[in-house]
Copies of this chain bind each other. A is one copy, B any other.
């Protein structure tokens, strides 16, 4: 085999934590964000020769994130991600692609100036990618914990010599939803409304549709998002099956940590333009 060469690479500052306060006369608003930047491009001299002349420090990336957050209300995380991704392409000539990922942590209002953390660790997410004049926006959510006590069965499955599982027509179905979807275009969306519709569509599909397997539920949740939000080209869901084992009755269950089933899948719109993978 041949020479040793550098392959794909990227770098950036990860998990920049910030709180942005907007102080209205009657009430304050807050935005609690975690931002991660990754730049890819012509960084071979840094890797091969220790020549850093093209490397914008990750410290500068962090400073830019804070500067953008300071410069007026940040807007939706999809927009902030796009602005930052385009900024990094512009300010770092060696970068061919900039990816900016933002997690937003929800807070519920207690009064005009006080807040309580939102539901169950759930985070709204966005990922913007800029490359030349092109841009892609993906959105999603992580750790949305849901559980249903009816309308879930698992029967008629394949069997091999190791199979001991019994069929069940009525089981607990519980999962922590991670969902990421790519918009067909990077502009022209009401990001917050689209996110809300996508989230509600997943909750409705989980709660309202009978489940013959977590695979079927995954597909139904993905399809519901595509139907509810026309601008979505593709959605990827990752659903751990949080096993609840019946303890001698239909009403009591042991909740097990590990192992767990893991169901992953994408649902997409045929003919939609391709885009970067949803594996951020």
Contacts and interface: CB of A to CB of B under 8 A. Distances in A.
A4 B158 contact: no
Q: How extensive is the interface on chain A, given as a class?
A: 35 or more
A252 B120 contact: no
A267 B6 CA distance: 5
B253 A165 contact: no
A149 B14 contact: no
A275 interface: no
Given A3-B270, A4-B269, A21-B149, A264 B9 contact: yes
A115 B254 contact: no
A188 interface: no
A55 interface: yes
Given A70-B252, A266-B7, A55 B147 contact: no
Given A70-B249, A117-B120, A59 B266 contact: no
Interface stretch (A75-83, A105-113, A126-134, A189-197): A105-113
Contact of A114 (B36, B53, B94, B207): B207
Contact of A117 (B49, B108, B146, B155): B146
Contact of A254 (B9, B17, B151): B17
Contact of A165 (B4, B49, B60, B107): B60
A111 B251 contact: no
Interface of A: 1-23, 28, 30, 32, 36, 38, 43, 46-64, 66-67, 69-70, 91-92, 94, 107-108, 110-122, 144-151, 154-165, 172, 184, 203, 206-208, 211-216, 218-219, 223, 226-227, 233-234, 236, 240-241, 244, 247-272, 279
12 contacts: A1-B184, A4-B227, A6-B266, A19-B255, A57-B158, A64-B162, A70-B247, A110-B203, A111-B207, A113-B149, A113-B151, A257-B258
Given A1-B270, A121-B121, A257-B257, 4 more contacts: A16-B259, A17-B256, A19-B253, A23-B251
5 closest A-B pairs by CB: A50-B212, A9-B265, A117-B120, A7-B266, A114-B207
